Structure 1
């Protein structure tokens, strides 16, 4: 038994003043306020939160690295380093994200990820791989390696799913590419979350994509077309389409750099709060003080510089991933987007859990769910991180 008392408990709809939560066998068994504390005392270990916020752990569905490591390094130690690094900032669950690469490197990624599942005990949990690419629009590649960008190939993606379906939770692709709708059908039927990203799609492409399973926008605004002209006529791009269409949930890199204040406020005005997901999109520089780094594999990745709180290509033509951690996302949404703490936490816990179909296990402080919890102060500085009822980080 573990009981946390004297906390400001962030429940799905309110903050419980001087609340308490008890945990047994890694799951939440009781939630209450100070008036309901057992008079006969509490059993097991007790943590006095001393007024700190008790929040559901953060769920990062798009993250590449941190602590000087990248998932594309294809090293077991890299996976563990990233999990432990982000746990220090409140992430209790994550979906390791790949980059467009040569096929051989991707096959190796599956093997290393599968090995990591049995040894990752001291950081954020892994819930499945997010394949970001390689089926993208060249014009919207951003920092993705152009050498390996290609159209969907049935022989390739069917082979991948035949062997590694159990490891893949999500796949991002551009829905306007030749073969992308057939790809969408195949991936969706396999039970994988399908997202549109790095895309030159216009409104009509997005509408067709929805019919074939594309229901999530990968880092809205980043790597996406805006309004364009064809034969003098205006067409809504992917950005406008995702803001307009109710069938599309959106993820945003809420580091305050990728999306400045007007963009964050526009998204919050146009999408329901339960449709917005905060992501770090963090590369290996997250959680470090590095000024130079590498996006992707350290063997053949892309050199980047880190300045202004973001990673950039050296020629400054594009951002190259963020160096944000989850706590920074919450601060940005509160201070810049001017939304409530409850709503910001929902966007980084319950919303991503629902979209990734793990909300029956995690994402909110509710009886029966896994005890994936964090304690932080009014500045969103994480003091304690708990995964499956076990403390994995204490400041």
Structure 2
């Protein structure tokens, strides 16, 4: 076996931080996490230089980066997005679509099938996340209204039959037929997520019982307390807090949610029920200025400024330009949470939500050797995916 040993770092494990230990890798898998720097004859050595050695970041919701979007429908776009996000610590991700026509959606899914086996040197593709087009028009945000409509079994069943790569689908659960769709998704092992919704508590309960156990970009495009005539109703936000086992994801870029809400989510849901996601569009890791949300062919024009993408009228955000390292940094510096919890929200928690925690999400014997090294400022120094160094600061 060819061994790689990481040493001279602060190893972040589920049981705490190990100083002076070592992580041993062989054939893309973690062989052991040791409390001491044990000699491994013939092993390749990687001196962490005092940096943190952490599990690789898992991004459950990403549209693009580096000037590319998954809905450009080219293999090059897929591979370039995986490569750019690996530079910022992401070792695995879910390519995500936007509301679009069924022909465009199928092209994106076809492109995934072509790109997946060619993905070397970039974040691993864990399967597709379909976002839309079954949303509440009132909560569409930057989703293109031309394509938004109620769930249509003739559409989604045809998609599900043809594309086993789908692992998650975001839907507004109050729409006619949405609960039935959620049941069918669960039967196929696909995670139904609540998104772009005006649902009230009673509707969320029905959806939760059907398998909608996760909330997409929590607070964004989502109902809170609403009033209908003289009566008040709890929305999705309150429902997620009341349902202890419901998981949420937050765009912790420091813009989408203010400091107070970041703290509130952490206080109520905790690190074990909260995943960090970039929701990054093509302008992530790019200079500010004009950009396109979605496909280059028929996407929406946006402007990137103040570290976020906005619609041209500046009345709504149009996606994040964050990378995973920034999310961890914001949670530590703005929300004031411990480093270990911030890392968990970017690794083990999303792995658990996606039910891949037996292989990814923490530095433990037998798991994939997806590892990231960073300094006190969460600046990425090295990214390792399945035991291969794919990025390293020179």
> Do 2:288 and 2:305's aligned partners in 1 also have CA atoms closer than 8 Å?
no
Q: Helix, strand or coil for the counterpart of 1:37?
A: coil
> Do 2:55 and 2:347's aligned partners in 1 also have CA atoms closer than 8 Å?
yes
> Do 2:348 and 2:360's aligned partners in 1 also have CA atoms closer than 8 Å?
yes
Quote how far apart the aligned CAs of 1:210 are.
0.5
Counterparts of 1:195-344 in structure 2, within 5 Å, are 195-344=193-342
Residues 255-303 of structure 1, C-alpha deviations (whole Å, 9 max, x = no match): 0100010100111111132000000000000011131100000111000
In 1, distance between residues paired with 2:320 and 2:241? 22
Q: Which residue of 2 aligns with 1:37?
A: 38
Q: Within the alignment, does 1:104 sit opposite 2:106 as a pair?
A: no
Aligned-residue Cα RMSD (Å) equals 0.9
Q: Which structure 1 residue ranges, 4+ long, deviate > 6 Å from structure 2?
A: none
Quote how far apart the aligned CAs of 1:247 are.
2.9
> Do 2:5 and 2:44's aligned partners in 1 also have CA atoms closer than 8 Å?
yes
Counterparts of 1:1-395 in structure 2, within 5 Å, are 1-34=3-36, 37-38=38-39, 41-164=40-163, 166-395=164-393
In 2, distance between residues paired with 1:98 and 1:241? 26
Q: Helix, strand or coil for the counterpart of 2:20?
A: strand
Residues 316-341 of structure 1, C-alpha deviations (whole Å, 9 max, x = no match): 12100100000000000001111000
Quote how far apart the aligned CAs of 1:360 are.
1.2
Quote how far apart the aligned CAs of 1:42 are.
3.5
Structure 2 unaligned spans of 5+: none
Quote how far apart the aligned CAs of 1:103 are.
1.0
In 2, distance between residues paired with 1:302 and 1:251? 24
Count, aligned residues: 391
> Do 1:210 and 1:247's aligned partners in 2 also have CA atoms closer than 8 Å?
no
Structure 1 length-normalised TM: 0.98
Structure 1 unaligned spans of 5+: none
